[in-house]
Structure 1
Amino acid sequence: MNGLRRPSWWAVLLTLAGTLLFLHLGVWQLHRADEKEEILRRYATAATAPLRDFAAVADAPPNDAFARVQVRGEYLSDRVYLLDNPKHDQRGGVEVFVPLRIAGSDQLLLVDLGFLPGNGTDQAPQLPPLASGEQRLQGLYLPPPGVGYEMGGNALAQQAHWPKTTIYFDAKQFASDLARPVYPLVLALDADPASIYVREHTLDFSSMPPARHRAYAFQWFTFALAAVVIFVVLHRRRKPNRRHSKSTDSP
């Protein structure tokens, strides 16, 4: 400390507080990166996981895994929903959701049939007819997609004809529109080469992937180092000017 001037208490406090804050934010970003990588790992392994009965996980899905389930039910084929402009298609298109009525349950299960690519126009793609009668379905029981922003209120309530289109997924709005409760998660069907729908379900971390969290962590750690460096530079003892010393010592 001989090379430093005695700092004021507020300078020490400010530097210490800023450094600790920056370090805390950097560590938090690293933890978020690790959490998202773990979620992506669990999601990747879920595609080949053994099938479970839907009733076993319907209301209490596991917190540490994505359940792959099988379920039997009947489509409400006259109640189709189109989630407009999903991010994975440059030509436009819609993600198609249909309620499934399950025997013995008052709740409806929203089934994600997959993505229907657009034709480069503003018109919605032509929907193929849905299978009638009881269906045996299997797929991942997932949280609803975080797509779009709610603008102008409940878009579903403002439409009188089906299929209904929305850019914002809200399970409560679907339940209100159907006048029936819906399950908290949706069923994303397994890929089917024979289907017209594109089923490439991915978790949407595009806006903040793990790599970006680590980049932010590096930034915060750099700020912490900069705060210490600035403190040292501002309180470093300056060597006396030799010319000034000689002039004051001469008679």
Structure 2
Amino acid sequence: MSIVMRIASRLRLWPLIATVLLIVAGCALGQWQTRRAEQKEALFQEIEKASSAPLIYLNKTTTDHVFSPFRRLVVEGEFVQDWPLYLDNRPLQGRAGFYVLMPLRVTGTNQFILVARGWQVRNPVERTKLPPLYTPPGQITLTGMMRDKLDRAMQLGQAEKVKSGSIIQNLDLNDLTAQTGMQFYPFIIEQTSEVADGLQRDWPLPSSGADKHRAYAFQWYALSIMALIFFLVTGFRREKK
């Protein structure tokens, strides 16, 4: 009997099948996590490139092709003071709070841009009790970063109709346009210029997350190796003496 036949006769079938499946699944998931890490790194490089590009000055002559997420922008306009909105469940440094949003009418146009003005702490006792909000009157010039959308929070149940002063979980610009009649630019500004309004503007940039995906990939590859080692130790019948 050849060595190959002797080895084959000692193999345990079901442990062999289980080991092969584990190795294939582990390698496939490891490769998927590696690709995700590469995608996140590429996206983060695009974000850094956009945020370091020259400022865009938004006015009635600005063309749409310059709009892209994370570009820095300067705009002049007037806040619609009676339309504050509050995005709930946006913690900062371990404290519960809101993102304060407000439409800004762009000077010389009939269009509005939604500005994420900053972060405001939430009342720890009465969630819906909001502190006074100072809004600069008249024409102002502000600087910010363009975002195609705001980060979403978990939505439980049906979203309520948006109205002035609403405390909401998430916001869609198309819905806001339909419910207010205001014509919004297809992006949001995270304000970075300072105003003495008591709001914090420590906007978090999306992290690349590549290290996390590489760690997951390592775990899946390690699982494949452990499955192989376990089979080599236990997957053979012992020879009778």
TM-score (norm 1): 0.74
User: Residue 227 of structure 1 corresponds to which residue in structure 2?
Assistant: 227
Greater Cα offset, 45-54 or 24-33: 45-54
When the two chains are superposed, the root-mean-square deviation of aligned CA atoms in Å is 3.3
Secondary structure of the corresponding residue to residue 226 of structure 2: helix
Matched, 1:141 2:141: no
User: Residue 186 of structure 1 corresponds to which residue in structure 2?
Assistant: 188
User: Residue 92 of structure 2 corresponds to which residue in structure 1?
Assistant: 88
* Deviations 1:31-83 (CA, angstroms, capped at 9, x unpaired): 32343345445545655542123465746644xx7211122233222211111
Distance 2:185 2:92 in 1: 26
Change in Cα spacing, 1:238 to 1:170, as seen in structure 2 (3 Å) is same
User: Residue 247 of structure 1 corresponds to which residue in structure 2?
Assistant: none
- Map 1:103-118 onto structure 2 (within 5 A): 103=107, 107-118=111-122
Q: In the alignment, is the contact (CA less than 8 A) between 1:73 and 1:136 conserved in 2? A: yes
Greater Rg, structure 1 or structure 2?
1
Matched, 1:177 2:179: yes
Distance 1:192 1:232 in 2: 64
- Picking from 193, 201, 204, the partner of 2:203 is 201
Distance 1:193 1:101 in 2: 18
User: Residue 124 of structure 2 corresponds to which residue in structure 1?
Assistant: 120
TM-score (norm 2): 0.77
Q: In the alignment, is the contact (CA less than 8 A) between 1:81 and 1:163 conserved in 2? A: yes
The one-letter code matched in structure 2 to 1:197 is L
Distance 2:107 2:135 in 1: 22
* Deviations 1:85-138 (CA, angstroms, capped at 9, x unpaired): 3121544322111112235656531111111223533222221133223x3222
How much identity, in percent, do the aligned residues show? Answer: 25
The one-letter code matched in structure 1 to 2:194 is D
Matched, 1:4 2:10: no
Change in Cα spacing, 1:165 to 1:119, as seen in structure 2 (3 Å) is closer
Change in Cα spacing, 1:149 to 1:105, as seen in structure 2 (3 Å) is farther
Secondary structure of the corresponding residue to residue 70 of structure 1: strand
The one-letter code matched in structure 2 to 1:225 is I
Q: In the alignment, is the contact (CA less than 8 A) between 2:103 and 2:114 conserved in 1? A: yes
- Map 1:64-75 onto structure 2 (within 5 A): 66-75=70-79
Q: In the alignment, is the contact (CA less than 8 A) between 2:143 and 2:193 conserved in 1? A: no
Greater Cα offset, 225-234 or 11-20: 11-20
Q: In the alignment, is the contact (CA less than 8 A) between 2:15 and 2:235 conserved in 1? A: no
Secondary structure of the corresponding residue to residue 194 of structure 2: coil
Q: How far 1:141 sits from its partner (Å)?
A: 0.4
Q: How far 1:153 sits from its partner (Å)?
A: 1.8
Q: Gaps spanning 5+ residues in structure 1: where?
A: 242-251
Change in Cα spacing, 1:44 to 1:67, as seen in structure 2 (3 Å) is same
Matched, 1:131 2:137: yes
The one-letter code matched in structure 2 to 1:136 is T
Q: Gaps spanning 5+ residues in structure 2: where?
A: none
Secondary structure of the corresponding residue to residue 19 of structure 1: helix
Q: In the alignment, is the contact (CA less than 8 A) between 2:16 and 2:235 conserved in 1? A: no
Change in Cα spacing, 1:82 to 1:239, as seen in structure 2 (3 Å) is same
